[in-house]
């Protein structure tokens, strides 16, 4: 479990101090001093941090803002690189130019020392490395930001891959997430344009993703679940997990010798059938999404291997997603209504699947959905790429400030990536045609007798629970009212504006009465020739007449400013 605390004052958490200074220095270096000013960060940081020179700027200021952000993220390290990689596929969170630039981020991390590997493995699994493994290669064959993978052998002769977590990575991630959350809070509070993208929500979602990814026991459980789900499928193979040598920081699994799905020439040289691989791979993922609602959420070509007889093998189960039955059914309704160009129905389903802070303009949303269909569904279904369709839908949702739930987004992203891999293997592949049987099954499942019976039983149970609970709730509310622990507050929206208008009317009437009284009084004084006189006219009368004139002009200007006489 990650230990992430909200930061009020950075100086109170000294574990953040050096890292905060480093982050600010990198932001200044890439020309984001204006962002620091907008965040009003001086009140949160110590004097030592304020001494970072605002003149530390690089020639990179001549580059686009998106490119400078990408370069800064690369220098900030693994946690920020992972965040950038996730954001690069979220058109509902960030603008297109930034998304395209962030998609170039690469996780280039050198391996850590073998002495650290020995220390971590022996601490985690108990006993010496020699006692638990027949051999353990010093050089890793894969290295990433969170861990690296070594080839090893178990005493029974099984050759395995051992994934070892980087030393101190959990602490590094915790510090980075605390600072990230603090900066996101300041952005949401002080920068209106960025606040629209809900940076705090992005960081919180990212923290949940990382929390699952750095616990190798969760990954092991996911692998075992996939193995059970596809136990009877001869086209799929999931590597075996060795629980005796698997912990939160060490994962031991079967070493699979296959060909990466992206290595087309090697596939053909091995006599493997690309069309069969494409068909079985698409089936594999569509079953995950539509049959089980639990899916591998990082299906880039480096994680998909092909074994003899065109068998698909998945690796790296650190990122998975799950969607419940109702969400799957609503997603199918959305795709079906979009493909058949029912804009009103598509709009309603889209609203069911998303959430928002401000109520969207339904008529404008429906119009944009209709325009979207007209622009993208003018060609035959076999020529439509479902990935592009989903990306355009995400962009449309973003324009209307509709937010996609994280796991639903992961599902959409997974389908998009899988279609891309499939088209790489077989340019004639039709994802919509392949998805059609799965979509039909999900739609028909709602009308199966056992499903209807189950829904009726659930509804009846909920109604019975409501009937039983309602009197108790009413008695509890009555008791709280009697004890004066519960009060009701009514609010009349729009009443303040009406009262202000009434005040304005009464003020103008009062002002007019005063002006009229001054004019009448002045006239009487002038007629009575009350001294002192000026050229035979009462000076007091002249002053009062002048005051009435000034007040009348003032009132007239106020009325004209409102645009209504």
Q: What is the mean pLDDT of residues 273-296?
A: 93
Question: Who contacts 131 (Cβ-Cβ below 8 Å, separation ≥6)?
Answer: none
Cα distance between the two ends of the chain: 68
What is the C-alpha to C-alpha distance for residues 428 and 278, in angstroms, rounded to an integer? 10
Mean pLDDT of the chain: 82
Predicted TM-score (pTM) above 0.75: no
Q: Taking 80 as the threshold, does the pLDDT of residue 501 lie above it?
A: no
pLDDT at 48 over 70: no
Nearest to 164 by CA among 201, 131, 119, 198: 119
The whole-number pLDDT of residue 59 equals 46
Of residues 92, 298, 316, 430, which has the active-site annotation? 298
Cα(277)–Cα(298) distance, integer angstroms: 18
Q: Is 98 left (phi over 0), alpha (psi -120 to 50) or beta?
A: alpha
Question: In this predicted structure, which of 89-103, 136-150, 314-328, 335-349 has the lowest mean pLDDT?
Answer: 89-103
Strand duo 311-314 + 236-237: pairing: parallel
Give 311's Cβ-side CA count (13 Å radius). 16
Residue 34 annotated in active site: no
- Confidence category of residue 41, pLDDT binned at 50, 70, 90: low
For 295, the 3-state DSSP assignment is: strand
If one compares 528 and 490, the residue with the highest pLDDT of the two is 528
Cα atoms found within 13 Å of the Cα of residue 54, Cβ hemisphere only: 8
> 79-93, 116-130, 186-200, 488-502 — which one is most confidently predicted on average?
116-130
CA 39 from centre of chain: 21
Higher pLDDT, 51 or 83: 83
Model pLDDT for residues 357-405, shown as the tens digit of each residue = 778 888 898 898 888 888 777 667 677 777 778 888 888 887 888 888 8
Each residue's pLDDT tens digit, 321-332? 899 988 998 998
Judged against a pLDDT cut of 80, whether residue 210 lies above it is answered with yes
If one counts every other C-beta atom within 10 angstroms of the C-beta of residue 493, the result is: 6
Q: What is the pLDDT of residues 14-29, one digit of tens each?
A: 557 778 878 888 888 8
What CA–CA distances, in Å, run from 219 to 53, 227, 243? 44, 12, 12
pLDDT above 90 covers what percent of the chain? Answer: 25
pLDDT of residue 313: 94
311-323 pLDDT per residue, tens: 999 998 988 889 9
Length of the chain (residues):
565
């Amino acid at each position: 479990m990650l230990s992430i605390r909200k930061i009020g004052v950075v100086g109170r958490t000294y574990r953040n101090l050096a890292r905060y200074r480093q982050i600010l220095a990198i932001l200044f270096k890439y020309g984001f001093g204006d962002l620091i000013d907008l965040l009003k960060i001086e009140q949160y940081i110590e004097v030592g941090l304020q001494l970072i020179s605002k003149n530390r700027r690089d020639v990179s200021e001549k580059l686009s803002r998106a490119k400078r952000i990408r370069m800064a993220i690369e220098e900030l390290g693994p946690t920020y690189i992972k965040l950038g990689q996730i954001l690069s596929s979220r058109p509902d969170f960030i603008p297109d130019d930034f998304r395209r630039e962030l998609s170039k981020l690469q996780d280039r991390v050198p391996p850590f020392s073998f002495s650290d590997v020995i220390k971590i493995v022996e601490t985690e699994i108990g006993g010496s490395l020699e006692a638990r493994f027949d051999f353990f290669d010093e050089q890793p064959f894969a290295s990433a930001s969170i861990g690296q993978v070594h080839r090893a052998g178990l005493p029974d002769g099984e050759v395995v891959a051992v994934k070892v977590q980087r030393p101190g990575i959990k602490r590094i991630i915790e510090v980075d997430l605390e600072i990230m959350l603090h900066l996101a809070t300041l952005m949401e509070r002080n920068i209106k344009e960025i606040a629209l993208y809900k940076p705090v929500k992005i960081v919180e979602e990212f923290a949940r993703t990382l929390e699952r990814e750095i616990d190798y026991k969760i990954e092991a459980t996911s692998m075992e679940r996939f193995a059970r789900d596809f136990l009877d499928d001869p086209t799929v193979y999931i590597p075996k997990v060795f629980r005796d040598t698997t912990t939160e920081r060490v994962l031991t699994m079967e070493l699979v010798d296959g060909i990466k799905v992206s290595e087309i020439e090697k596939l053909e040289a091995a006599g493997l059938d690309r069309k069969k691989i494409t068909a079985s791979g698409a089936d594999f993922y569509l079953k995950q999404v539509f049959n089980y609602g639990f899916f591998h959420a990082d299906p880039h070509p480096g994680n998909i291997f092909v074994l003899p007889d065109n068998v698909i093998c998945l690796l790296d189960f650190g990122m998975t997603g799950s969607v419940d039955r109702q969400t799957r059914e609503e997603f199918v309704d959305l795709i079906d209504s979009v493909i058949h160009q029912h804009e009103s129905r598509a709009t309603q389903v889209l609203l069911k699947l998303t959430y928002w802070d401000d109520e969207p303009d339904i008529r404008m949303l429906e119009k944009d959905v209709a325009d979207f269909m007209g622009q993208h569904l003018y060609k035959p279904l076999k020529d439509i790429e479902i990935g592009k369709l989903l990306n355009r839908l995400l962009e449309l949702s973003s324009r209307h400030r509709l937010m996609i739930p994280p796991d639903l987004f992961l599902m959409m992203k997974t389908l998009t990536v899988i279609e891309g891999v499939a088209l790489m293997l077989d340019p004639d592949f039709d994802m919509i045609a392949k998805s059609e049987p799965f979509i039909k099954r999900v739609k028909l499942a709602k009308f199966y007798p056992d499903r209807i019976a189950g829904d009726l039983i659930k509804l009846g149970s909920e109604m019975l629970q409501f009937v039983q609970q309602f009197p108790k709730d009413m008695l509890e509310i009555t008791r709280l009212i009697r004890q004066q622990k519960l009060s009701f507050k009514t609010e009349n929206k729009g009443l303040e504006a009406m009262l202000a208008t009434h005040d304005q009317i009464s003020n103008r009437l009062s002002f007019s009465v005063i002006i009229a009284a001054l004019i009448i009084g002045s006239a009487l004084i002038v007629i009575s020739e009350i001294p002192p006189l000026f050229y035979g006219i009462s000076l007091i009368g002249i002053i009062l007449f002048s005051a009435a004139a000034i007040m009348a002009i003032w009132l007239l200007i106020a009325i004209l400013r409102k645009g209504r006489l």
